[in-house]
Structure 1
Amino acid sequence: MRKEELDIFIKQAVEGDKIALEKVLMEVNDFVFNLSLRMLGNISDAQDATQDILMKIMMKLSTFQNQSHFHTWVYRLASHYLIDYKKSMFAKHPLSFEFYANDIQAGYIDSPEELIGLNKEILAKELKLSCTNVMLQCLDPMSRCVFILGTMFKINSQLASEILDISAQNYRQILSRSRKKMRQFLSEYCGLSGSG
């Protein structure tokens, strides 16, 4: 949706137009869910958080001042909510890279026969997605959010610093440390060939 069109819907929604409000919420629903899913690690928690965030957007829409792009404002609301989110499975049972490494080393396939008949390409893709998802949960919430915004959503440091209310330099440092941790863990434990 074009910015001008979205601005009109926002104005109408603030004035009480329910159809306009629905269009505004539908505009941001997918990327709020995608951010929630990556931050929280499972679909059920992501759906719950998305609903909470959409409610926050609805309740705070009148405070949107149009000083930044609407999507930036939504990212800010969603990011801060998700960093502090305590109801997810991984918030209740936090992971660490050490714990996950021990889990991988212990192995979870009892016998190679379990793999017979499975498409190796599909299995490799599933393993990659699963490994990445769990690794994200090993990062603290702020580092996870920075990694997701910078690496997965390709948001530049200036915009990300605005979203997270931190300096651009601090954002780049957190992103660099998070990438290094992820890279080290990937190369050691999640490779499909070589040492991992």
Structure 2
Amino acid sequence: MTFDQIYHSNKNLVYNLALHYVQNVKDAEEITQDVFLSVHEKLDTFQNKSKISTWIYKITIHKSLDFIKAKKAKKRFGFISSLWDEKPDLSKRELVNFDHPGVMLENKEAMKKLFDIINTLNEKQKTVIILNKIEQKTISETAEIMNLSVKAIESLLQRAKNNIKTKGNY
């Protein structure tokens, strides 16, 4: 399979999964580019032990989580450095933008609230919710993508659901 074929058959998968993590179109596009750059660079290391889409899912998850960590670190650094600024530039502060094109306007607030809660989950719980409930991967597919047992996925899923219920009063 050529890189072009891989790209065209997986670009929507990567973009949508990244979008679930960051809820911002521009950030999801940036992650998508990073993922396919990695795929291109590491294609010769793919060993066909799993489906190529599973491999791409793993790369996308790692790139998305790394992107979120980097963004949080940048915000922390900006806040800390602003403490020593005599006149902080408020225009540099980034507002959270929920920019998911698939969400209907009337559901946007409810979805934003749900994603705000999902974003408070730890990385594994967030990933299992995104893969199983949003991407609608089976428990076994989710286990393969996350390199965990089916029992571990079931446990993570249950804890994530409980945390969402508790935090969201659902």
TM norm. shorter chain > 0.5: yes
Residue 153 of structure 1: how far off its partner (Å)? 1.4
Amino acid in structure 2 at the alignment position of 1:60? K
Structure 1 contact 41–137 (Cα < 8 Å) conserved: no
Runs (4 or more) in structure 1 with deviation over 6 Å come to: none
Unaligned residue ranges in structure 2 (runs of 5+): 77-103
TM-score normalised by structure 1 residue count: 0.64
2:70 is matched with which residue: 61, 81, 87?
A: 87
Counterpart check, 1:49 vs 2:31? yes
Counterpart check, 1:137 vs 2:119? yes
Match of 1:165 in 2: 147
Q: Distance in 2 between matches of 1:55 and 1:30?
A: 15
Amino acid in structure 1 at the alignment position of 2:129? F
Match of 1:4 in 2: none
| CA gap 1:131/1:173 in 2 versus in 1, 3 angstroms | same
Task: Say what the alpha-carbon RMSD is for the aligned residues.
Answer: 2.2
1:75 is matched with which residue: 51, 57, 63?
A: 57
Aligned residue for 1:138, secondary structure, equals: coil
Q: Distance in 2 between matches of 1:47 and 1:156?
A: 26
Aligned residue for 2:16, secondary structure, equals: helix
Amino acid in structure 2 at the alignment position of 1:144? K
Match of 1:148 in 2: 130
Q: Distance in 2 between matches of 1:91 and 1:46?
A: 18
Matched residues, number: 142
Larger Rg: 1
TM-score normalised by structure 2 residue count: 0.73
Residue 53 of structure 1: how far off its partner (Å)? 0.7
Residue 55 of structure 1: how far off its partner (Å)? 0.7
Unaligned residue ranges in structure 1 (runs of 5+): 1-9, 14-20, 95-121, 189-196
5 Å matches for 1:1-196? 10=1, 13=2, 21-85=3-67, 86-88=69-71, 124-187=106-169
Residue 44 of structure 1: how far off its partner (Å)? 2.1
**Could you list the per-position Cα deviations for residues 5-35 of structure 1 after superposition, in whole angstroms to 9, with x for gaps in the alignment?**
xxxxx1xx2xxxxxxx223212111111111
Match of 2:86 in 1: none
- Of 123-132 and 169-178, more deviation after overlay is shown by 123-132
**Could you list the per-position Cα deviations for residues 122-148 of structure 1 after superposition, in whole angstroms to 9, with x for gaps in the alignment?**
664121121122222111222111110
Q: Relative contact order (C-alpha < 8 Å, sep 6+): which is higher?
A: 2
Amino acid in structure 1 at the alignment position of 2:14? V
Amino acid in structure 2 at the alignment position of 1:137? N
